[in-house]
Amino acid sequence: MAKLILFNKPFGVLPQFTDRGSETKRPTLSDYIDMGGVYPAGRLDRDSEGLMVLTDDGKLQARISDPKYKLPKSYLVQVEGDIEDKSLAMLRQGVKLKDGLTRPAKAERIADPEVWLRDPPIRVRKNVPDCWIKLTISEGRNRQVRRMTAAVGNPTLRLIRWSIGDWAVADLLPGQWQAVE
């Protein structure tokens, strides 16, 4: 039976088990996960937080991370500015990026979610408001969510991957993981 792990990756942690080529040691998955033989199904940038799925099953890993399977990935995104309806509509239609048009996303403004505090906290600007959106995409280009929000005029301040398919990070604090049966 395949091993499957849900991990709440903290901000600043590399989404891999080793850190090669850095003069200073940076935290990696091996600082949190002591189970051998599992590998990330997809990536989550060092400056992003939230759900990572790890498995020892190559076929499952491909089904989770390969865009051709269109597995939805939902993010809670704190953006700079007070996002307008037209910007949400653009996200829903697909946004033109340098590497092409994104698939249509589900996008909605949400109330400030009850999530853990980030360490370090985001930079707050007194004269610039911010708000939260929930964005669900079915592809996974490099830094896609950040590029999408910037393209509509609302740069990302904080990015939390909340779910992948039916798996969610809801009950895990940063740095915690659980095996799924």
Is 45 designated active site?
yes
Across the range 114-121, mean pLDDT stands at 92
Bridge partners (DSSP) listed for residue 107: 135
Q: What is the pLDDT of residues 8-37, one digit of tens each?
A: 999 999 999 988 877 888 999 999 998 889
**Percent helix, percent strand, percent coil in the chain, to nearest 5:** 15, 30, 55
Q: Indicate the burial class of 25 (C-beta count within 10 angstroms; 0-12, 13-18, 19 or more).
A: exposed
Query: Residue 107 is encoded by which pair of tokens?
Result: 């996008």
CB atoms within 10 A of CB 125: 10
**Residue among 19, 31, 34, 45 flagged as catalytic:** 45
Answer whether residue 98 shows pLDDT above 80. yes
pLDDT of residue 81: 95
pLDDT of residue 153: 96
Q: What is the pLDDT of residues 57-86, one digit of tens each?
A: 988 888 888 777 778 999 999 999 999 999
pLDDT of residue 69: 77
Q: Are the CB atoms for 6 and 177 separated by under 8 Å? A: yes
